[in-house]
Amino acid sequence: MRTRGPLLTTTLAVLLVVGAAVPSAGAVERPAAVPAAASSATGTSTTHDVTVVMLAPEGTAPDYTRDEALHSLAVVDAFYANETDGAVRLRVVAATDWLTMPTSVDCTDFDPLVEYGRKRAGFVGGADRHLLVMTPEGSDCEYALGQQASTLDAGGVATVATTDPTTIAHELGHTMSLQHTSSVRCASRWDLGSATGLPSSCTRDEYGNVSDIMGGGSTFYPFTAVSLAHLGALRHPVVLTCGAPRRITVSTMSAPSSAQRVVTWRNPAHPGVAYYLQFRDVVDNLLYAQLYPSPRAAQDDAPTGIEVTRTDPREREGGSVLTRPGDSSNGSRRIRAGERVPLDDGMSVQAVSFDGAAHTATVDVAVPCARPATGAPDEAPRAAPGPAPAPAVVQDRIRA
C-alpha cells in the first residue's frame, strides 16, 4: 500500500506556541503513529493561528483537561498537514485553562458565548486567526458551531463542547472556508438534473458524505476532491474536456498527492456544474486509524468503490456525492466494479476494474460535447464581485 509520506512511521513536530499570558503546560504529544508532512508540494504554506479559551458555565464541572484539548488540536493539525502536504497548518498560539463563565452568559447562544470568549482570551480577529471556544461536554452549551468563512485565510470563530478531533476539524474547516459535504439520493437515478435544481424525486442530506469530516462522519478519511480544491490542495487532477469516452486509471485517495487520484470535468451543457471522480479503496479507512481511532469507525467505514461528487450552483454545500437509487447501505455512495452509472446530458461513468494490490481503479468516463443550454440558471452572467458577505454561523453537529 502506497501512502502519503512516511505514514505510520514518523511523529510530526508539535506546533504549540505558549503565549505570555497562558499557563505553562508540558509539550503536547501526538500519537506514536502520525502522518508526516514536512512541506507543501507547491512550496507555500499557511499557518493558521488558533486561540483556545476554555469556559465552564458557573455550577458545571469541566470533564476534560487542557492537555486533552491541546492534544486533540495537535491531531487536527496532523490531519490537515497530511491532507494538504503541509500547505495548511494549525498552531495554538494561546490557550487558557478552565475559566468560570457567569450564568448571565447564555452559552446556548453562539453570539454571547463567543463574545465572552473573545474578551476573556483577548482575541483580535484577522487573517489566519481563529478563536476556538471550548465548553464542557456535560454542559447545555451549543455542541458545535462555526463561522462560515468565504476564503481559506479569512479566519473566524467556532465553539465546541467536546474534545472529539473530527468535530474540531469540522468547525475549524468552516473558518477556513470548507462547507458541508452532502449527498443526493434520487428515486430512480444517480444524478439529479443540472438545469432545474433538486427534483421532487430527490433528497439532499446536508451531512450525507460521511467519508469527509465536513459531512456527518466522525472518522478521519482522506478529504474529498471538492474539499481539497477549497483548500488549494488538489494536486494533479485529470481535467477532461468533451469528446470521445476516456479510459483512465486512478489511485486511491490515500496514495501520495503526486499520484493521479482525481478526474474532474464540467457538464458541457451546463458549465456551471462540475464533477469530481475519485477512487476510495478500503485501505483509505485505515489511513488515520492510529492518529485517531474513532469509536464510530465501524459505522462510518465504507467498501471499495468510485465516488462521483458534483457541485450545484444553487446550493452552498461543498459538493454532493451521488448515491445508488434504492440502496440505503453505507456503500450506496460507491460505484462497484463493473457498474455503469448514467449521468445527466448523456455523460456516464463506468468502473471497469479495481486492482486490490496496486490500490488503483480503471474507469471509463464519457463526456459528450453539447451546446450550453442558453438561459439555464447555472449559466446566468455573473455580476461584478461586490463586498464579501458577512460570515454566517453554521449550525453543526448535535450532541449524540
Identify the pLDDT of residue 202: 92
Identify the pLDDT of residue 265: 97
Identify the pLDDT of residue 396: 67
Burial (CB count within 10 angstroms: exposed 0-12, middle 13-18, buried 19+), residue 338: exposed
Please give the domain boundaries of the chain with CATH numbers for all domains: 1-177+381-400 (3.40.390), 182-369 (no CATH)
Residue 220: count of CB within 10 angstroms of its CB: 28
**The pLDDT of residue 304 is above 60:** yes
pTM for this predicted structure: 0.85
The region of weakest confidence among 75-89, 269-283, 294-308, 316-330 is: 316-330
- What's the helix, strand, coil split of the chain in %, to 5? 15, 30, 55
Identify the pLDDT of residue 314: 75
**The pLDDT of residue 145 is above 80:** yes
Q: What is the mean pLDDT of residues 270-286?
A: 96
Q: Note whether 204 and 198 are within 8 A (CB).
A: yes
Q: What does the CA dihedral 60, 137, 155, 384 come to, rounded to 10 degrees? A: -110
Angle (deg, nearest 10), helices 165-175 and 66-83? 60
Query: What is the rounded distance in angstroms from the CA atom of residue 305 to the CA atom of residue 322?
Result: 12
Identify the pLDDT of residue 199: 87
Q: Each residue of 109-121: pLDDT tens digit?
A: 999 999 999 999 9
**The pLDDT of residue 40 is above 90:** no
- Percentage of the chain beyond pLDDT 90 is 74
Query: What is the rounded distance in angstroms from the CA atom of residue 346 to the CA atom of residue 335?
Result: 18
**The pLDDT of residue 206 is above 90:** yes
C-alpha cell at 163: 474534545
Q: Can you tell me whether residue 76 is helix, strand or coil?
A: helix
Identify the pLDDT of residue 5: 41
Q: Note whether 246 and 200 are within 8 A (CB).
A: no
Q: Which position has the higher pLDDT, 90 or 10?
A: 90
Mean pLDDT, rounded, of the chain = 85
Query: What is the rounded distance in angstroms from the CA atom of residue 400 to the CA atom of residue 398?
Result: 6
Identify the pLDDT of residue 195: 65
Query: What is the rounded distance in angstroms from the CA atom of residue 169 to the CA atom of residue 251?
Result: 25
Q: Which position has the higher pLDDT, 128 or 394?
A: 128
State the pairing for strand pair 340-342/348-355.
antiparallel
Q: What is the mean pLDDT of residues 52-63?
A: 94
In the chain, DSSP assigns E strands to 46-57, 88-101, 129-134, 144-148, 156-160, 182-186, 202-205, 238-239, 246-251, 262-267, 270-280, 305-310, 320-322, 340-342, 348-355, 360-366, 392-395
pLDDT band at 26 (very low <50, low <70, confident <90, very high): very low
pLDDT band at 373 (very low <50, low <70, confident <90, very high): low
Q: Each residue of 241-271: pLDDT tens digit?
A: 999 999 999 999 999 999 999 999 999 999 9
**The pLDDT of residue 4 is above 60:** no
Residue pointed to by grid coordinates 505514514: 7
